[in-house]
Every structure is written in structure tokens, then in C-alpha cells.
Chain A
């Protein structure tokens, strides 16, 4: 994986001096011109060296997208996006480069320091000139580590590649599963992603294999350069297990306002996938200007009997977050879980939740959602639990808790429950509370500064979710929660 991505990154760097793409101008360039049309799609496919079937698939998605309209049902105040005023393929260097960390927004620098991110890694995250080379070098420096991992994965038969590599090297698997869980025309943003996705990850865990490590833990620097339209496909074959980590706690800036990823997970008989996300995209300034729109489609198909998928997410960034990691529980006795913390501050908006679609007999699902609103933000939980007519003895438990900091923010809970089989047991609990002055004063009297007291209380509120995260991620996520809420009380 690291090898693949590095090869790609190095390729891009090498291309910059020699590469010519002449369909719009004769200037040497490494990005598709502004705007979206069939040529853009062809450009991306060509750039990725894709086979014809992949290009056809993209073009079909593009044709469908053209006929669709941007949805407006979420509780979000959204400025219309001009899709022709955006770039769809750009080399990573497209981010503005800084001469040194001194030029970085001091707020972000302070956050890096609080998170304890090493200086060199800070430079990469901030896009400091020359730092990219450092990032590549850094991975090269740890090449022995990377090699060990790669060999370990290979020995286990695990395939862990960029999606572009997988299209070339494992076309049979990609063709079989791509778009099976999230069809091209599933929604507006999924269609857009299907047409123009430029980066992403492919994972295949063979039958009976327990993936020997948490995937992506050691590739944080690379993962920080994820594209605007990421595409992830993870297949867990019978009886296999994998834990996949996505994201980064460090605040990430990006010139691309819209991020529309698609993540598809497939679990066959007795397989288990644990998917953890920490999302901290730039939320914009205190007035919400310049922040990222994060419109993601994440869905898992628990196709196999006794298969299990667990989504855990900690969402603190983005100006607007719109995502519903979902499970289609078609296997008998399959299990879907959703554990979520969504924090909104200042002018941030989040409309997030899950869908648990029960089709299999004895399938079970658990939803635990913790929403924290501060500043003048709005935080909505939107969740669907659906039980099909032939799904006997389904069980679901949903717990939605909202915590308010201050009096200018909003918390909303919108549960949809559709049950077509009388044997189902569905439970929904919801609470809304304010962070109490008693708790704050108690913690401060014991020696905590106000912001640390807020962080501690909020972490307690989120504990059920945080304890689902892999250990090292959980520690970072705890720090992140505190930082996200700084200045929100008092």
C-alpha cells in the first residue's frame, strides 16, 4: 500500500516536468481544467491508466449524474455548489504551499502542538514547501517497517492497494463488487464520485484470515493527502476479520470545498469488518467561511450469515457534514453497529446518522449516537431502522444523546422507523442535556482549568463510542474533542 501510494506520488512529482496533456492548452499541466464534462472523466481515467471497462463505468455514472438533482432534504443551510467552477483532478501540490510553518494560521499551529504532532509531520499537513519530499523520505526512512508490514500482509494473503492499482491488478474483484453496495445512481454525490473518483483504497481479506494489523494506522502521512473524491472498497471473505482506520486527527486544510467520498464494505459469511473514522477537515473560520463540505456515502453489505460490520466515527471537522454510514443486513443473524460522536462548534452544521436495513432473519443492530453542539452550530441525528417483511425476530437498540454547550446552538433528532414484520423488537432512547455548571465547577475545584474540565466531561459523555476505537486512535480522539470545543463555554 505505502509502496503503491508512494510510487504514485513520486510518479506525479516526476511527471511535473515532462508530462503534457494537450486537450485544452499547450501549457504543461498536471490537472484537468476547471469544470466537469465527459473529457474530464476521460482525462482522469487515462491519467490512472484504466482499462476500458472502468472508463465505461465512469461515463455511465457521469451520464446518470447529469440527470440527477442535488438533494435538499437534510437540515443544512447550504450555498449551491457550482460544479463547473471546480477542479476534478489535480496533483497533490495544488494546495497552496507555505515557505515555512511561520506562515501557517497560528490557530492551526497551536492545534498541531496540542495534538503532539512531530514538526516534520506538521509541515506535511500544512503543505509547507519542500515538505512533501520529507513525507516521501519519511516513509522511505521507515522502509524496513513498511516492508515488514507489506510482507506480513502478503503472507496472510491480504490485498491492500490503492483503488487504481486494484483496478489494474485485480480487475475481477473490483468489477464484481464496485458499485454493488452503493449503486452509481444511489444519490447525487455517489454518482458524482463514481464518475470522477481519483483516489482511494482497496482491501480484500481472504477466507478465514484475520488481518494481522490495523490497516492504515501506519500510513497517516499519506492518508492526509486523500483526494476530493475518495473511493474505498473493502471485501471481507468468509470467516475473515479486518479493522480499518480512516482519517487523521490533525486539522486538514484543502482547497477543494466539496468532498464526496464513497465507501463500500462487503462482509461474507461469518466475516467481520470494523471501520473507524476520525474526521477533522477544516471547519472554516468562526463565521464558517472557507470550510469543507463533507458529503460522504458509506454503506456496508452484511451479505453473509452471521456477518458483522461496525462503524465508529468521530466527526469534529468540516463546515458541513452529511453522512450516514449504513448497514444492509441481508445475512441471517448478521449484525450492524454504529457508534458516532459528532461535534459542532461555531457555525458548523452536521446532519449525520445511520441506516440499518434489516432483511435477514435474526439480524441485530445497535446505534449509539452522541451529538455535541456548541457556539451557533446545528447538529442533527438522522437515522433509519427498517425491517423487511420477511425478516423475522429482528432486534434494534438505538440510543441518541445530545449535549448542548451554550444557548445558541441546536440539537435535533430525526429517527425514522419502518417495521414490516411484527416479530421485530425496536428500542429508541433519546436524551438532550446541557453541560452543567455544577459539573464544571466541581472539576475546576479539583484542579482542572475550564477547558480541560469541558474536555473531561465531554469525553465522559462520549465514552461508549470512544471505547470502540482502537487504543491509539481513542487517545488522539479524546484530545481532539477537547480542542474542538475550546472557547465554547464561559
Chain B
């Protein structure tokens, strides 16, 4: 059974159809890259899977670990192990990352029937993850993403992913805004946190360059609201050379 099974998914936002019959099967242990032109519906796919209000599913299905994902509230999906890395991480003034993540992680743990982590246990994990991603731990004591550079925000997303330790990560353009060193650090982070037999990643990206560090098992082209083409890692190189337009024409 696939960890994520999307079948003929249709979704719209503000009355405008975006996903038009998208199907995708992701098994545990796999990393899938989703590429495609602007406006193809890549971010919408992430939002729909994470349950963002304002994105309405009009047809098809998505199951996660055999359960109807679309019937779950956003925080229930999170507790079940789904993590969305945001293209534009959000600022929350007045709330430190430490407080934010500890509250969130313990909410997830309660939902799963696990004990909450003590402050000490949590801080140890947070310190380790920040160090691994090259983010000064002091930054996690500051309000969530407030005053962070674009690169710091993306690193912070990966620190969050490391702390939350999900089973399925959907990473929406995590590579945008990163310089080459940061790209390597983030790529290493994704491999370290998510490369495991029981986990899977859906990596949404414009560019091939992140795939030099996180080698996907499958590459898909999302165009016109559906998976237009699928292949192995070589497809990413081909797209990098020829673009999306050439083939569509």
C-alpha cells in the first residue's frame, strides 16, 4: 500500500479549477520531485494535501497510510505525520519558535496518545536540529521567522521538520532563496531527516539544482493541473536543458 495515494484529484480555489485529475502514488522510502511551470498547480497540490482552508476538493481522492486524508482537519493531518514545508514561511510576532514548536509538537503527541515532552527534552532536540541545519539556536528564541532572511526562513522550516520528524514531507520550493552553501545544508538536512524506509518526500521545485543534493527516485512534471509526465532522475536534467515549453509545444 502506498503511503500517499492520490487519484484523479480535482481542486479549485476562489472558484477557479487548478487541479484537474491529478494522480500520484508515493511509497514509503521514496522521494518524488514535482517540477513544472509557474501556475501549474504545484503549490495548490501542497495546500490541498495539507488541508488549507479556501482550497476546495471537487473530485477524486487522496489517502494517506490507507486513511482518507481529505476527511481530516489540518492539525489532524499534521499529527498523522504530514508536514508541509512552506514556500513563504509565515511570521508570528511575539511567539518564539521554541514556544511555537513545543506547543505544536506536544499537541501532535497528545493527538497520537503519546506523552508530552518536557521542556528539557524538547530543548535538547531543538538544539540538535538547529545545529545540524547550521541555524544559531538563539534564533529559535526569537519570534517565529520575524526578521529572518529568506534563507534563514527556509533553514528554519527544515529545523521545524527535524523537530517534528514527520513521515511524509511535502516541501514547496524549499530551495528558492538559498545560496549554494545553504542549498547543500538544506539538501543534507532533507536526506538526514527524511531518507528512511518508512518515510517519503514530495519535493516541489522549479530547478534541478536541489536534486543534485536530494536525489529523487521519481520526477514528475505537473502541468495543466495534472501529472503530465513521469520518469527517473534523468527527466530533471532533460527539463533543465529543454524547459517545460519545448515539450508541451
Contact = CB atoms under 8 A, between A and B. Distances in A.
Nearest to B79: A447
B139 interface: no
B58 to A, nearest CB: 20
A447 B53 contact: no
A459 B94 contact: yes
A464 B73 CA distance: 32
Nearest to A449: B75
A462 B94 contact: yes
B95 A445 contact: no
Contact of A456 (B52, B88, B91, B100): B100
A490 interface: yes
A438 B94 contact: no
Contacts of A436: 90
B144 to A, nearest CB: 8
A446 B143 CA distance: 16
B105 interface: yes
Nearest to A452: B107
A457 interface: yes
A409 B233 CA distance: 53
A438 B100 contact: no
A457 B144 CA distance: 11
Interface in A443-466: 443-450, 452-453, 456-457, 459-464
Give the interface centre of A441, A443, A446, A461 by most chain B CB atoms within 10 Å. A446
A443 B100 CA distance: 8
Contacts of B164: 446-447
A457 B95 CA distance: 7
Contacts of A463: 94-95
A461 B93 contact: yes
Interface residues of A, number: 26
Interface string B90-110: 111111000111011101100
B143 to A, nearest CB: 7
A464 B94 CA distance: 8
A445 B50 contact: yes
Interface string B30-55: 00000000000000000000111110
A452 B78 CA distance: 14
A447 B92 contact: no
Interface core residue of A450, A457, A460 (most chain B CB under 10 Å): A460
A439 interface: yes
Nearest to B78: A447
Contact of A490 (B53, B83, B84, B99): B53
A446 B102 CA distance: 10
Given A437-B53, A457-B92, A447 B84 contact: no
Interface in B53-69: 53-54
Nearest to A442: B90
A450 B89 CA distance: 18
B90 A446 contact: no
A443 B50 CA distance: 12
A406 to B, nearest CB: 14
Contacts of B104: 443, 446-448
Contacts of B111: 447
Contacts of B75: 444-445, 447-450, 453
Interface of A: 436-450, 452-453, 456-457, 459-464, 490
Closest 8 CB pairs of A and B: A460-B94, A460-B95, A463-B94, A446-B104, A447-B108, A442-B90, A444-B74, A447-B78
Interface of B: 50-54, 73-75, 77-79, 83-84, 86, 88-95, 99-101, 103-105, 107-108, 111, 143, 160, 164
9 contacts: A439-B90, A439-B92, A440-B53, A441-B50, A445-B78, A446-B104, A449-B107, A463-B95, A464-B94
